[in-house]
Chain A
């Protein structure tokens, strides 16, 4: 199994080589065989005697992260969709993309995506699942931005990236919590330990984070806004990623984890509400669109919402209907996207206001679109598979039992009405799509090209998909027991397909009545569409989520820009104030909280007149530097402080230090004088009273802090000094009477070595600064 996942990725490496000869043979022809082979490999698993298959390949065993592949009914359904529709999409793209395109890039991204998607649905290990999940986001980003010279493409790619990666990271958080709680990284063992998860205090977090991942990926309300913008991708990509596979990854995730959460009432509430709202909003908004692909995008959103809602219901019928509709939706939506691509390709526009009356010119395409749209609308004829799943959806919405809490109870009452409402609009936009393009008047003067029938190669893939629609519609039992029952079984457990067959022909069943209501009201609304279209000015009106996203992104930029500009002013004074202020606050808090300040008076020496007088002079000079007005005066007065320190060294019997201090002080004074010649005159700083007060607080506070720390350090001597060792051994070991010098060159010579290095570097740096300043090369 692992090979089927990795082979597309491996072969993607060779695509750039093959694409060199694209002038002779279209690259897609080589690529076509990969998904086909995978499809043929997995088709052998289909059958009523299906059993699950496991395969493990070590990756990072120490962290429990391995390629655990687990093939059950649900995975099999998705794997067949991915590889089957993948093969058809590649076939379609051979005719859709000319040889002038960058085919190498296209097929590398597509194979990357295929591999990632297979990995998502087959992985049993959550971290491997997450890895493939992000790979789908990345490859989808690359595919949406395929025509990167288009501004809209880049915008759409970025938008989908931001939203899906946001969800992916949330999901990662849920995965980490799950693996910490259960101590395993395998989904199947998590399902076995679901009691631990359900009793965990983190359960709400896990659920919300996990569902964020699923909702963003599957374009559920209000995260659906990336999907219509992703329609800037080439049509084969829209057909593949944004109708049949990637957007169903979120459904897969919910289905995969629903054995764990199905007992939790909030799972039902959240997933059902989000699903049903997405269904209604998506179908309502789809009628408003004028671009063919935008209609299909909103239609995808709404259909995904319907499936999500059914997964939320979690009853046996609902799960079965969900699985069934995943298959049905992939067939008719894939074919409809291809139809939209053909119309675009042959007429030069996708604007439904310019199209019309194409029935006679493109009969094949029109037939395909007829089956696709009528199946999508759920027209009650026995050769449209969408009708069955729609009816099962109504069935499951009625079939809901009351929940425990009042809110769930209310929800159960409302859901059937919302389901009918959403389905009416589904019917309206399906009819709008079909009759808007193929019916009505001819207006060829608006079209960039003269329309004609598509080449047969382009029609093969939608024909295959529409045949799927019809075959499933005519013989639903063909896929039932062999295939869908296993998938539903993986979600719900112990599902028997046979039970549900009888619902399909119940003429007096309430579900059929609901279908008739949908068709009736839908037809009326379709014919009167122009009259009630004004309603869109009120309901989405100004409340567009698309604008909201733009505003949020804009605000995020401008606000963070503003915040950064507030403190990154370029003023060093402000930075120093921030650094010192932070140090001050943190140190005071830490020391205060840990009782670090200790002040004791028992270990002090006597104060002599001479110490006092020197210190007094230094204080006077130090205070004098603050108030001096002229820069030479500041240097000279600061020199007094330096010499005072030297005298203190003398008083405290450190002749070596005193010598060094004197020389260094003199040199520094001279250096300052050298610099100040080139400096402008000291200006009075234009400070406000507030900043002055802040400066005083910070400087006084910092001085006080350092004083207290010094006193505390003196007051808390925990160990004996090691000075006695040096006094005893400086002559014995070092051979010198000057203990300071023995320490500097013998005992701790390394420090000296590197201080010499520091001086050397400083000298070289000064030299090069002065020298290189002169020639322009340094700039």
Chain B
């Protein structure tokens, strides 16, 4: 029984580290896209992807340091990403973020 628990613990540890490395690689690739992206839309999508990866990173970190205090952060990143991507999209599309009252 004890053996099993330890084994699970080991597996979780190893798999989280693998995941962190994977996310890091994907972050770097996304960063390359954000830097090199031929158009600003490419950069916006890359930034969105970076944000989702950050959510995953935060979750993995919460597992590593064994805490529930980071759940807020994960949720917040989700909301902000949505808002931020919308704002950038609207900016790229219309040139403004907040429309004037036309009437």
Contact = CB atoms under 8 A, between A and B. Distances in A.
B39 to A, nearest CB: 10
B11 interface: no
Interface stretch (A35-43, A289-297, A405-413, A613-621): A613-621
B21 interface: yes
Contacts of B97: 670, 673-674
B73 to A, nearest CB: 5
Contacts of A637: 34-35, 43
A613 B31 contact: no
Contact of A633 (B27, B43, B51, B72): B43
Given A636-B43, A650-B73, A662-B80, A613 B20 contact: yes
Interface residues of A, number: 33
Interface string A144-162: 0000000000000000000
Interface stretch (A314-322, A469-477, A597-605, A651-659): A651-659
B61 A670 contact: no
Given A617-B31, A640-B34, A643-B51, A662 B73 contact: yes
Contacts of A621: 31, 34-35
A2 interface: no
Given A653-B65, A670-B84, A663 B31 contact: no
B-side interface mostly: helix
Contacts of B12: none
Given A609-B21, A620-B31, A653-B65, A636 B80 contact: no
A633 B40 CA distance: 7
Q: Which DSSP category, helix, strand, loop or mixed, fits chain A's interface?
A: helix
B80 A666 contact: yes
Contacts of B96: 677
Interface string A622-639: 001000101011001101
Contact of B54 (A620, A628, A647, A674): A647
B17 A609 contact: yes
A669 interface: yes
Interface string B69-103: 11011001100100110011001100111100000
B83 A613 contact: no
Interface in A164-196: none
Interface in A66-120: none
B21 A620 contact: no
Nearest to B90: A673
Contacts of A650: 57-58, 61, 70, 73
Contact of B72 (A647, A655, A674): A655
A610 interface: yes
A689 to B, nearest CB: 26
A648 to B, nearest CB: 11
Given A624-B35, A633-B43, A677-B95, A647 B57 contact: yes
15 contacts: A610-B61, A613-B27, A613-B28, A621-B31, A632-B43, A633-B40, A636-B34, A636-B43, A636-B88, A643-B54, A653-B67, A655-B72, A662-B73, A673-B87, A677-B96
Given A621-B34, A633-B43, A653-B67, 20 more contacts: A609-B20, A610-B24, A613-B24, A617-B28, A621-B31, A621-B35, A624-B31, A624-B34, A636-B40, A640-B47, A650-B73, A653-B65, A655-B70, A658-B70, A662-B76, A670-B97, A673-B88, A673-B97, A674-B98, A677-B91
